[in-house]
Amino acid sequence: AAPQAAAEHASETPAPAAAADEGDARARIDSVLGDAAQYEKVFNAFKTAVVGGDRAAVVEEVRFPLNIAGGKKITGPGEFQRNYEKIITPAVVKAISEQEFDKVFVNQQGVMIGDGQVWLTGECLDKACARTEVKVGTIQ
């Protein structure tokens, strides 16, 4: 019975790997970027703020300078607020509102929302990078 149990277990092994590729963003973030909980917290706060139209809360989740469309940068909260409608476009709102955290794309550069409309990135807060801060680094 033991060899049969091992064979059954071996045949089940690919399923979790496929599931990770299809929707387990937390495991991928932990392995590629570290601290999935911090990314999820920022994702949820940013999504709630954008969908709810809470401009002040949106700014709280953004890192400046912020990369925006056309290779431009927004240098601070005041400039962001003045250009809010140009940055948080209906297409950006749609991408954010439809994105589920479990299905975000993850690579070494960060966590992507939609088709690249928004990127969450971590920044080291100390030389050893033992502490990081996750914020929205790009909106395009």
Q: DSSP of 32-86, one letter per residue?
A: HTS-HHHHHHHHHHHHHHHHHT-HHHHHHTEEEEEEEGGG-EE-SHHHHHHTHHH
Residue 76: domain span: 2-139
User: Mean pLDDT over residues 10-23, rounded?
Assistant: 40
pLDDT of the residue at 131: 87
Q: Specify the DSSP element, H or E, that contains 13.
A: none
For residue 138, give both structure tokens.
Answer: 């790009």
d(CA 111, CA 27): 13
Do 114 and 99 touch, CB atoms closer than 8 A? yes
d(CA 27, CA 18): 12
Look at strands 132-139 and 105-107 and give their pairing. unpaired
pLDDT digit string, tens, across residues 41-99: 999 999 999 999 999 999 999 999 999 999 999 999 999 999 999 999 999 999 999 99
Question: Binning pLDDT at 50, 70 and 90, where does residue 138 land?
Answer: very high
DSSP one-letter code for 99: -
pLDDT of the residue at 28: 96
Question: Binning pLDDT at 50, 70 and 90, where does residue 18 land?
Answer: very low
Specify the number of domains making up the chain: 1
pLDDT digit string, tens, across residues 100-137: 999 999 999 999 999 999 999 999 999 988 889 999 99
- Please give the model's pTM, rounded to 2 decimal places: 0.82
CATH no. for residue 62? 3.10.450
Q: Which residues pair with 57 in a beta bridge?
A: none
